[in-house]
A and B are shown apart, each in its own frame.
Chain A
Amino acid sequence: MSSLSLSRSQALTALREQIHRLEQGRTACPPAPLAFGAGALAALPGGGLARGALHEILGSDGAAHGFAAWLAARLAEDGRPVLWCRRGRDLYGPGLAALGLDPARLILARAGSDVDVLWAMEEGLRSGCLAAVLGEAEKASPTAARRLQLAAEASGVTGLLLRSGAETSSCPAVTRWRVAATASGVDRYGSPRPRWRLELLRCRHGLPASWIVERSDDATGHLVVVADLLDRPAAPAAGEVARLRRTG
């Protein structure tokens, strides 16, 4: 049974990859996804965040910026620069450094409008020399987002679009997250440890899920899942289905 399901899932994965390549009109393998560490956020297909794609992050408080900066820091581990396009002027270097994002590697583009933010993001995604491009826009039309997604696919640069506006129904991004702060935990010495509530709202070839995470205090800075939230959608694993069938 298990060997059968394994071979079936392997076949499915192979087929998915083939379709993906046909969709993109190229034969090269997509770059390896970004692993979140600890296998905690395994709901993503391929075991991590797809590189060379656009990801959408909803949220407007410090947690959303923190999560985006943390992702950018992971993506920039190879030493390439990161472009951050936004309208505000309040990003703070020491705070970003604490999340692992080296401020010396950061290029800030202070745009005057959402249109300029999206234009700067597209320029960054097309240039191909960056590790990641972050952009903050209140609104992004599906067309603009689609352009970003295509630019990201073509260059292999990962795009992160932070949106503070209302959730829109359609966005061509590969994943959509909602990030919010949540009550801190306490470490073994009694000092608070900040936590984020991550909701994976949409994921191409994957299922929505949500977690409460905190950053591990070791050098890796990985995210550690504190709790799988109970209000996740019902998505029983293959084994559970089989068990149910047997009992039934």
Chain B
Amino acid sequence: MAAVRGGQRIVAADAAARAGGVFPGMPLTDARATLPALFTVEADPDGDLRALETLALWCGRYSPWTTIDAPEPHGSAGILVDASGCAHLFGGEAALLEDIVGRLRTWGVASRAALAETPGAAWAVARFGNRGTVAVVPPGGLTAALAPLPVRALRLETALADDLERVGLRRISDLTNVPRAPLATRFGQALADRLDLVLGRTAEPVSPRRPVAVLRTRATFPEPIADPADIAAATRRLLDEVAVHLADGHQGARRLELVAYRSDGTLAEIVVGTARPTRDPKHLDRLFAEKLPALDAGFGIDTLALGVLVAEPLVPLQRDLASGRAAPEDDAGRLVDRLGARLGPERVLRLQARASHIPERACRAVSAFALKSLPEMAIPGPRQPRPVRLLPTPEAIEVIAPVPDHPPVLFRWRRTSYEVARAEGPERIAPEWWLEGAPAPEQGVRDYFRVEDKAGRRYWLYREGVYLPGVFPRWYLHGFFA
């Protein structure tokens, strides 16, 4: 029940309540009078939506093309599953529906299921049909199945449905039997469009809740499994299967997901990425093995689905005849995958050169997974010496310089003083004034000095800005030489 239009009203009622004469829309006081033993709870639309989403994700075990139906005020929420080509996996269409309804019943969820050629027809039959909780509309039987249903089953706006009923068009057969053009003129294009959708004259695609895999295999277990060894073994079997399909299509996987459908209707997933397309089940198994311990089996997993989210062309591998080993860059790709699986893809990096004079911009570390192929560009050796380590952001230092334009004789960095034994420079690096947001040349210019302290350690310091009388120049430490 919920507060609607100034009064407490019933929003949804279960079968027992309906049998006792309580229906959605009824004021709470009336309902209590009709059925004194009525048990009511406050409506929780957000909670309902979340529960529905969980169920929709769980339905992904039947088909990846799964979405929730926009919930409506009177509790007629639903889930749409595009089961094209999936039904045979569950022993036929009727068996598929029985399986869904049966499993939902074990969790105490009352449901009705219908399967038809169009989502609109399935929606109508599931809600308004009278053939029990499970109904399959046979191919070609669409018009016949819809004919006796009320026009509301077309999912029309309430006002439109009321108009239709007022003129005596009560059933869908009344609409399909009259000419289309006058109907559209009289009741608007929306009605004609809706009819077309439901009758399959125009397509109504289901947009899935989750990314749809290019390739998918699944394993259903007679008993829910929870033992990590069982899960690993099942994953291995699925990987072998996927590898065969990938090889058939000369494809390699770049991104895979393993979705575990738990027996309590929730799901867990693991996503694994590779730096290069691959279809070696052993390699993929090692990547998953790194992450499988994080998979929470909960009360047990009854279905595992392995999907290839991103695949790229991969020609059959040329192997070295003598040793049977793959090319070295392929091995390096596998190593990168394994490192990425444990450390995270953003932590396995390659260095990339960029055309910039600014030292911190000249070289950039990018994720090895973001690169399409191994980088060919070599970073050109600079004419001027460059440090082996460069601080990501230059750190301010205090210096003592005898003459403002000269290198310092002493500098202080991180609360330690360093006496400069010798210095070289300056090397002047001007800001990239042609870029937007770059500082003005006279402010952002840097004069770099290579200095060496008494112990022989070499640092890269710079003074920011050109020397102006009366302005105290700022100094920074930027790098360490070998």
Chain A interfacial positions (CB closer than 8 Å to B): 61-63, 65-67, 69-70, 80-81, 83, 88-99, 102-104, 106-112, 116, 119-120, 123-124, 127-130, 180-184, 191-192, 194-197
Contact = CB atoms under 8 A, between A and B. Distances in A.
Contacts, number: 176
Given A106-B350, A109-B347, A182-B456, A98 B377 contact: no
B247 to A, nearest CB: 23
B343 A111 contact: yes
A119 B335 CA distance: 12
B343 A129 contact: no
B424 A103 contact: no
B336 A98 contact: no
Question: Among B332, B336, B359, B482, which residue has the most Cβ atoms of chain A within 10 A?
Answer: B482
A110 B343 contact: yes
Contact of B482 (A66, A81, A93, A106): A66
Given A62-B389, A65-B389, A104-B379, A92 B479 contact: yes
A104 B365 CA distance: 11
Interface string B370-391: 0000111111111001111111
Given A90-B390, A109-B343, A119-B342, A65 B479 contact: no
Contact of A183 (B349, B452, B481): B452
Nearest to B454: A183
Contacts of B424: 191-192
A107 B350 contact: yes
A189 B328 CA distance: 44
B379 A103 contact: yes
Nearest to B450: A192
15 contacts: A62-B458, A81-B329, A89-B365, A92-B363, A92-B388, A94-B382, A95-B386, A95-B387, A95-B389, A97-B382, A107-B339, A107-B349, A181-B452, A182-B455, A196-B482
Interface of B: 328-329, 331-332, 334-336, 338-339, 342-343, 347-351, 353, 359, 362-363, 365, 368, 374-382, 385-392, 421-422, 424, 452, 455-458, 479-482
A165 B424 CA distance: 31
Contact of A194 (B349, B374, B481): B481
Contacts of A99: 388, 482
A107 B336 contact: yes
A108 B348 contact: yes
Contacts of B334: 127
A127 B283 CA distance: 12
Given A81-B332, A90-B390, A97 B343 contact: no
Given A66-B481, A108-B365, A180-B455, 8 more contacts: A62-B458, A104-B379, A108-B349, A108-B350, A127-B332, A129-B335, A181-B455, A195-B456
A109 B379 contact: no
Contacts of B350: 104, 106-108
A130 B333 CA distance: 11
Given A183-B421, A192-B422, A95 B481 contact: yes
Nearest to A78: B328
B363 A93 contact: yes
Nearest to B340: A109
A95 B359 CA distance: 10
Contact of A97 (B349, B380, B458): B380
Given A116-B343, A181-B458, A127 B335 contact: yes
Contacts of A196: 482
B377 A104 contact: yes
B386 A110 contact: no
B224 to A, nearest CB: 33
B421 A123 contact: no
A12 B348 CA distance: 46
B335 A103 contact: no
A106 B351 contact: yes
Nearest to A65: B388
Contacts of A89: 365, 392
Contact of A184 (B332, B351, B375, B456): B456
